[in-house]
Amino acid sequence: MQLNIKNIILLILALILDTIDYVGGFIPGIGDFIDIIGPIILYFISKDPYMLGGLFELIPLADFLPTNIALAAYHVYREEYGD
């Protein structure tokens, strides 16, 4: 499996967003901002509507789930091996 640069950037950005969301979730406003902006950025990079599933983290206490990483990994898997 050979990852292209777009998928590597997508996975790294998803990891960064989930980490900031997890740590910044204790600071009011930062966690919610990342929950809204993060999936939109990932969507524009990947053009995959599944990335908007990261908006799930707007639900209280869902910030502890690595949703962006899981969705990015799923996108890379689908792109490599098909639907």
Surface-to-core class of residue 27, CB atoms within 10 Å of its CB (0-12 exposed, 13-18 middle, 19+ buried): exposed
> CA angle 23-26-32, nearest 5°?
90
Interval 63-83: pLDDT, tens: 788 889 999 999 999 888 876
Interval 39-52: pLDDT, tens: 999 999 999 898 89
Where exactly are the structural domains of the chain? 5-81
